[in-house]
Chains A and B, each alone.
Chain A
Amino acid sequence: MKIENTKAQMRKGVLEYCILGILSNGDAYASDIIEHLKNAELIVVEGTLYPLLTRLKNAGLLEYRWEESTSGPPRKYYSLSPQGKSFQLELKSTWDALQKAVEHITTSK
């Protein structure tokens, strides 16, 4: 079992929640989302994100509109759908609970 694989698995698990979290603070381009995630070192490469965004969009959690770009083709401008908002809130409580639980287990030895 490789540590890298486990790390990647962990990151991937929280990735969806993080994307929703970023978008809950305001609409964003895919590249903005990527920027945030990269800074947080949650993803290393961008490729991971595109399938994920599409999947979330298909699930009805995200919406997008086209925006013209000066430096390339038109870009998708993502925002949370109402369904996505509630989904995000639900995940947030789960995450908070999970975080506490994990903290509790790993520190109270």
Chain B
Amino acid sequence: MNKTININLGGIIFHLDENAYLVFNNYLKAVKSGLEHQESGAEIIADIEARIAEIFGMRLKEGKRQVINESDVEFIISTLGKPEDFSDSDDMENEPFSGKEKNKRFFRNPDETVIGGVCSGIAAYFNTDVVWIRIIFLILFFFTGIGFFTYIILWAAIPEAKTTAQKLQMRGEPVTLESIEKVFDKFGAQSKESGKKIKSGLSGFFDFVINTIGSIFAFIFRFLGVIIAIIGALIAFSLLIALLGIFGSTWSFTNFDFININGHVLGMNGTEAIFGGGWRLIALRLGTILTLLMPLFALVVFIAKVLGKEINNSRLLSFSGIASFIMGLLLIFISAGSIITDFKEDATDTERYTLSGTSFNVQAEFLEGNSGFFFEVDDEVLRIENIRFNIQPTSNEEASLELRHSARGRSHSEARQRAQNYEFPYAQNGEDLQLSEYFNVPKSAMWRAQSLKATLYLPVGATVYLDPSIENIMYDVKNVQNMWDGDMLGREWIMTSKGLSCSDCPEIIYYRAQDLEDEIQDNVDEELEELEEDIERKLEELELELKRLKDR
């Protein structure tokens, strides 16, 4: 399929296909520019256009076609002759060639390139030697770095002069007989040799230097390109791995741990605990698969490109890749969005268990492999480790353990149901109060931000020993000594009305800096006073002595 362009020749419309138009337009322009300035040039042009219309009409009739193609235009050119044939020999000298350079355009020059032909394109535009432009760019490159970005931007933004007409436009040469000679001799060698011949020795030397530097830079650019490609590939790869991780985490493979770190199946338990087993998990699984397809396709296309093989349907492939990516994201969002509504309402279940005795030894079961995960999934239960243990005074006679379990749900009743449905393993064995670092909820309840506040209420005077094993569940236990939770472990405590007080901590006397200073000041003042009194007494004695001596 070719675009056609309509033209009007001598009052008749012709359809030209695009290539034919390009050639024909250049040709006619050249012819016109040669004739315009002649006496009654317009008339000659009209005659020629009429003739062309005649020939076009004939050829269309003969070929039973509707569209003028390149061969028709070539026929015109061979019949009517090159633009220079149109001139009357006598008038050649008079012809003004200095038509204004209105058609000047920026192009990259593909015939003189070091990197992308930007500099030579600019040089052609400003009609200077390319060496100077290159020097300016190199200076900008080395001293500001602007040169680099400017070059890259220009490289991307400026089109390459592909056709001879564009090459003429690049130099801003008016499309005249002289310049058009090149157009029609383009099958000959117009480019490199003729350009090189003109160069002087000086610029030849510069060129050598610049070309050398240029090829070094070309190498560096290529090198940078490789590095950027590697970095990009690494990023893409890690993204892929992350997605694969999510993907893997949504499936539980029997006897196969997808990514296994220290016995923990990364992410899998979490996904199961949060998404349950219903449609939301399916949506998530589907979503991750679809999302993964795009990088997979991209990888395929990339590898194919690296291997130098073009994939025929790469467009279809990338389109379906993007489509499935969006679909996948949508599914993930829907699934996740549905989960979020499950956290809307909050409910707390409070229960209080009376304990016997007033002396306790609080311990907790140390969980093997406790790595700080929120929760773990056993076969039937969800084991959650979000426990806050506190010890507070009570006015009651008896000690008690209060458990406040809160959970979230789509509705309040759902949250309440969830809050009531849990199990906190603890046991009292004489003085030993055995707690645990976790509590269990049924797997079907799923993880909905369950948390447990366990508070040991002790009457004043009760004693308690805090075993180091409760370190993980202690949470800001109030005490008279104002010690940190960690420091309280392994010590004997007695309950007072203000909270726990340490009964076996070494006595520590605290000084305040101000007190110390005051004390020192007092001492100094006292000693000064004594000194003054001493001096006065001595003076009195001396005076008496003096009197005694005088009297004698």
Chain A positions near chain B (C-beta within 8 angstroms): 9, 12, 30-31, 44-48, 50-55, 58, 69, 71-76
Q: A44-B81, A50-B48 are in contact. Are A71 and B54 (CB under 8 A)?
A: yes
Instruction: Take A69-B54, A73-B54 as given contacts and tell me if A47 and B31 are in contact as well, using a CB distance cutoff of 8 Å.
Output: yes
Number of interface residues of B (CB under 8 A): 32
Task: Report A8 CB to chain B, min CB distance, Å.
Answer: 8
Which B residues are in CB contact (< 8 Å) with A54? 40, 43-44, 47
When distances are taken between beta carbons in the complex, the residues of chain B under 8 Å from A76 are 47
Closest to A72 in B: B54
B98 at the interface (CB under 8 A from A): no
Partner of B79, one of A46, A69, A72: A46
CB distance from B335 to the nearest CB of A (A): 72
CB of A72 within 8 A of CB of B50, answer yes
Q: How far is the CB of A108 from chain B (nearest CB, A)?
A: 31
For B50, the chain A residues whose CB sits under 8 A away are 72-75
**B 204-216 to A, binary, CB cutoff 8 A, 1 in contact else 0:** 0000000000000
8 CB < 8 A contacts A-B: A9-B89, A45-B78, A45-B85, A48-B85, A50-B48, A51-B38, A72-B50, A75-B54
CB of A50 within 8 A of CB of B86, answer yes
B10 at the binding interface (Cβ < 8 Å): yes
Question: Is B61's CB under 8 angstroms from A51's CB?
Answer: no
Residue among B44, B82, B83 with the most chain A CB within 10 A? B44
Sample of 18 further A-B pairs with CB below 8 A, known A46-B79, A72-B10, A75-B50 = A9-B89, A12-B89, A46-B51, A47-B82, A47-B85, A48-B81, A50-B47, A51-B38, A53-B47, A54-B40, A54-B43, A54-B44, A58-B40, A69-B54, A71-B58, A72-B56, A73-B50, A74-B50
Asked if residues B40 and A30 are in contact (CB atoms below 8 Å), the reply is: no
Determine the distance from Cα of A73 to Cα of B52 in the docked complex, in whole angstroms: 10
Q: What distance in Å separates the Cβ of A26 from its nearest Cβ neighbour in chain B?
A: 20
Which residues on the A side are within 8 Å of B58 (C-beta)?
71-72
Q: What 0/1 pattern do residues 26 to 67 of B give for CB contact below 8 A with A?
A: 000001000100111001100110110110111001000000
How far is the CB of A46 from the nearest CB of chain B, in Å? 5
Residues of B within 8 A of A47 (CB): 31, 48, 80-83, 85-86
Interface members, chain B 496-514 (any A CB < 8 Å): none
Look across to chain A and name the residue whose beta carbon is closest to the beta carbon of B39.
A58
* CB closest residue in chain A, given B60: A71
- CB neighbours (8 Å) of A58 from chain B are 39-40
Contact code string B98-117 (vs A, CB < 8 Å = 1, else 0): 00000000000000000000
**Least CB distance, B463 to chain A, in whole angstroms:** 121
The reply on B549 being an interface residue by CB < 8 A is: no
* Contacts of B135-154 to chain A: CB distance below 8 A: none
Distance of B40 from chain A, by nearest CB (Å): 5
Complex Cα gap A30–B47 (Å): 9
Annotate B2-41 by CB proximity to A: 1 below 8 A, 0 otherwise: 0000000111100000000000000000010001001110
Q: A12-B89, A44-B81, A72-B12 are in contact. Are A51 and B44 (CB under 8 A)?
A: yes
Cβ distance A62 to chain B, nearest Cβ, rounded Å: 13
Q: Assuming A45-B80, A71-B61, is B51 touching A50 (CB within 8 A)?
A: yes
Chain B residues lying within 8 Å of A44, measured Cβ to Cβ, are 81
Within the complex, the shortest CB–CB distance from B24 to chain A, in Å, comes to: 14
Residues in A neighbouring B80, C-beta threshold 8 A: 45-47
B203 within 8 Å of A (CB atoms): no
Q: Given A12, A48, A55, which contacts B86 in the complex, CB threshold below 8 Å?
A: A48
Nearest CB of A to B274, in Å: 81
Instruction: Give the residue name and chain of the A residue nearest to B81 (CB).
Output: A45
Instruction: Judge whether B81 and A71 touch: CB under 8 Å.
Output: no
Contact, CB under 8 Å: A72 / B53: yes
Interface string of B386-406 (1 = CB under 8 A from A): 000000000000000000000
Q: Please name all residues of chain A whose beta carbon is closer than 8 Å to the beta carbon of B81 when the two chains form the complex.
A: 44-48
